Amino acid sequence: METTKKHFLSDIGVMLGRSMRHITRSMDTIITVCITPIAMMLLFVYVLGGAIQAGTDNYVNYLLPGILLMAIASGIAYTAFRLFMDMQSGIFERFHSMPIARSAVLWGHVLTSLVSNAISVIVIILVALIMGFRSSAGIVSWLAVAGILALVTLALTWIAVIPGLTAKSIDGASAFSYPLIFLPFISSAFVPTDSMPTVVRAFAENQPVTSIVDAIRALLSNQPVGSEIWIALAWCLGILIVAYLLAMLVYKRKAL
Amino acid sequence: MEKAIEVKDLRKSFKSAAVLKGVDFEVKRGEIFALLGSNGAGKTTIVKILATLLKPDGGTATVNGFDVAAHSENVRQSISLTGQFAAVDEILTGRENLIMIAKLRHLKNPRQVAADLLKRFGLVDAADRRASTYSGGMRRRLDIAMSLIGKPQLIFLDEPTTGLDPEARIEVWNVVKELANSGTTVFLTTQYLEEAEQLADQIAILHEGRIIVSGTLEELKKLFPPAKVEYVEKQPSLEELFLALIGKKEEK
Ligand SMILES: Nc1ncnc2c1ncn2[C@@H]1O[C@H](COP(=O)(O)OP(=O)(O)O)[C@@H](O)[C@H]1O
Ligand SMILES: [Mg+2]
């Protein structure tokens, strides 16, 4: 109907404002999201770093892209959590019985996920700077990095929407993120893939984390970006489209 | 058109369990209609279907002349739902909850709307506290206040007083009466026979998937054997009526 379409953007704005308040009033969720990746970074740089042959003199630079992906993967668990809580509390049903575009409710959560993950990413980059991370990248490269990270967040967020809508318990709503958080370990995020046994290496080199990490690393260190950025983008878009379609299917079924 | 709700042969099953097996009733504009039934009778299922949250398996349901399945957006324009469990945002304050709904209803002055409702519902002192700190009664009041925003023609209240203490229950009753006085149609579900007796113009009893009896309180009382003369004459309470009706059904 006309009125619901006309107000779509302002409705999303209200939804975004609402869940942003949830985030600012529970900053502990942002800290929780940041702590594990930061601990990983400390561990790898100061404990294991000496023994790792990454072919670089600044291991923080090498590590950072993978750490950021880990942070995003754990951040979206909270998107699933917030969605699950809305389903439980009945506030979803209130919104859905109001004359507003139903997808605005979901988009509010998706945008919130983007913003909260952006905050975590910035916090971690600041910590990395203290630990010695340096980048010679220009503004265009940084924008490209931001774009890739946003795309990754969107793709993973739409994956998170599925358990958020369907889970029967809080644990169920966030359990899906564990494999995503650990995916960077079997990739080029921490060590170059050439050091891995053949089978592991074959997996590592052909999974999305490696191409995404390699692309971001190249952009940040001002290296020429090869085909990996296109492979990375293809992965992100592919996952995004499939997850979006699945999530919408689940949502439509749930929401009538 | 004077019918707010018209339900014909409504059916709904979850998996293989049939919850609604052909429900019929009508609600007129401006009246308080109470749907009475014990726990698990299917009251919430009916409310969800009428509020366009759940698809019926069979039969028809229209709200203000619009079919709930085919024209759900038109239905949502004129209704407001207060679900069985208070649907407030616990992390937001009472005031923020009200402002949020006022904005979603695209009202001109959301802050003013919120301030007025806080006053009307006795929540001024708690206005800027998070809803998670509210008592059950306060939460329910906030919940109902959120449903009134935008002056919907038809309000669903699904067990609005379940779990409230007697004082809070009477407060909610007063709100419902006030609403009806202002011309709003109220569709109420309850397990409390006394509540239906207190509030409703029309009562329908849902039992085993069907409306077993409906009418005004007076009409329902006529179905019951006349009051016995003992020391004092005692009108049968709705509770006795309810038990007698269910008993008769089960004897068959
Ligand atoms: N989503 C659902 N899936 C399966 N069974 C359900 C679902 N919702 C309700 N039921 C069942 O339908 C019956 C009626 O439920 P409900 O409408 O909530 O009853 P009431 O509100 O009168 O207590 C109950 O037996 C309940 O277990
Ligand atoms: Mg119920």
Domain count, chain B: 1
Please choose from B19, B38, B85, B157 the residue to mutate so as to test ligand 1's pocket, defined by most ligand atoms within 8 A of CB: B19
- Please tell me the distance from the alpha carbon of residue B107 to that of residue B188, in angstroms, as a whole number: 26
Q: Do A94 and B146 touch (CB under 8 A)?
A: yes
**pLDDT band at B231, cuts 50/70/90?**
low
* Backbone angle region of A107, left / alpha / beta, with phi > 0 → left and psi within -120 to 50 → alpha: alpha
Our CA-based measurement puts residue B226 at a distance from the nearest CA of chain A, in whole angstroms, of 44
pLDDT digits (tens, 9 = 90+) for B116-142: 999 999 999 999 999 999 998 899 999
**Distance from first CA to last CA of chain A, Å, rounded?**
16
B162 belongs to a structural domain: yes
Closest ligand 1 atom to residue B38 Cα is 22
Edge-first strand listing for the sheet containing B3-14 = B17-28, B3-14, B58-63, B66-67
User: What's residue A142's pLDDT?
Assistant: 93
Asked whether residue B82 is assigned to any structural domain, the reply reads yes
CA distances from B21 to A196, B11, B25 (A): 63, 5, 13
Please check whether residue A253 touches B, CB under 8 A: no
Cα–Cα distance measured from residue A83 to residue A93, given in angstroms and rounded to the nearest whole number: 12
Residues of chain A numbered 69-98 and touching chain B (CB < 8 Å): 89-91, 93-98
CA B161–ligand 2 middle distance (angstroms): 12
φ/ψ of residue B84, rounded to 5: -65, -35
pTM for the model: 0.85
What's the confidence (pLDDT) of residue B81? Answer: 94
* A117-165: pLDDT as tens digits: 999 999 999 999 999 889 888 899 999 999 999 999 999 999 999 999 9
A98-107 confidence digits (pLDDT tens): 998 888 888 8
Quick check: A1 pLDDT over 50?
no
Note down the domain range covering B68. Answer: 3-86+156-245
Q: In angstroms, what is the C-alpha Rg of chain B?
A: 19
Decide if B168 is inside a domain.
Answer: yes
Full 3-state SS string of chain B: CCEEEEEEEEEEEECCEEEEEEEEEEEECCCEEEEECCCCCCHHHHHHHHCCCCCCCEEEEEECCEECCCCHHHHHHHEEEECCCCCCCCCCEHHHHHHHHHHHCCCCCHHHHHHHHHHHCCCCCCCCCEHHHCCHHHHHHHHHHHHHCCCCCEEEEECCCCCCCHHHHHHHHHHHHHHHHCCCEEEEEECCHHHHHHHCCEEEEEECCEEEEEECHHHHHHCCCCCCECCCECCCCHHHHHHHHHHHHHHC
Ligand 1 neighbours (beta carbon < 6 A): B 14, 19, 37, 39-45
- Tell me, what CATH number does B33's domain have? 3.40.50.300
Left, alpha or beta for B150 (phi > 0: left; psi -120 to 50: alpha)?
A: left
Set of chain A residues whose Cβ sits within 8 Å of the Cβ of B80: 97-98
> Cβ of B188: how many Cβ atoms within 10 Å?
26
Distance B191 CA to ligand 2 centre (A): 9
User: What does DSSP assign to residue A224?
Assistant: P
Distance in Å, CA B93 to ligand 2 centroid: 27
- Cα dihedral value B126, B129, B130, B132, nearest 10: -50
pLDDT at B234: 63
Residue A167 to chain B, least CA–CA distance (Å):
18
pLDDT at B155 over 60: yes
CA–CA separation, B229 and A245 (whole Å):
70
Question: Would the pLDDT of A113 be above 70?
Answer: yes
Specify if B149 maps to a domain: no
Segment B16-68, tens digit of pLDDT: 899 999 999 999 999 999 999 999 999 999 999 999 999 999 999 999 999 99
- Would you say B44 and B189 are in contact if contact means Cβ atoms under 8 Å apart? yes
**Amino acid residing at A110:** V
pLDDT tens-digit map of A48-96: 877 776 667 788 888 999 999 999 999 999 999 989 988 888 898 999 9
pLDDT at res. B203: 94
Is a pLDDT exceeding 60 seen at residue B238?
yes
Q: Is B94 inside any structural domain?
A: no
- Decide if B82 contacts B53 (C-beta within 8 A): no
B205, β-bridge pairs: B36, B213
Interface predicted TM-score of the whole assembly (ipTM), two decimals:
0.86
Closest residue to atom 26 of ligand 1, CA basis:
B40
Q: Is residue B143 part of a domain?
A: no
Q: What is the mean pLDDT of residues A16-45?
A: 86
Supply the pLDDT for residue B103. Answer: 95
- List, for residues B166-221, the tens digit of each pLDDT value: 888 888 899 899 888 888 999 999 998 889 988 999 999 999 999 999 998 888 87
| Residue B47 CA, closest ligand 1 atom number | 17
CA–CA gap between residue A210 and residue A193 (Å, rounded): 9
Please report which ligand is nearest the Cα atom of B35: 1
Measured in degrees and rounded to the nearest 5, phi and psi for residue B233 equal -80, 130
Distance CA B25, CA A17 (A): 41
Query: Does the pLDDT value for residue A204 go beyond 80?
Result: yes
Average pLDDT score, chain A: 87
Query: CB of B45 within 8 A of CB of B119?
Result: no
| Residue A21 contacts B where some CB pair is shorter than 8 Å | yes
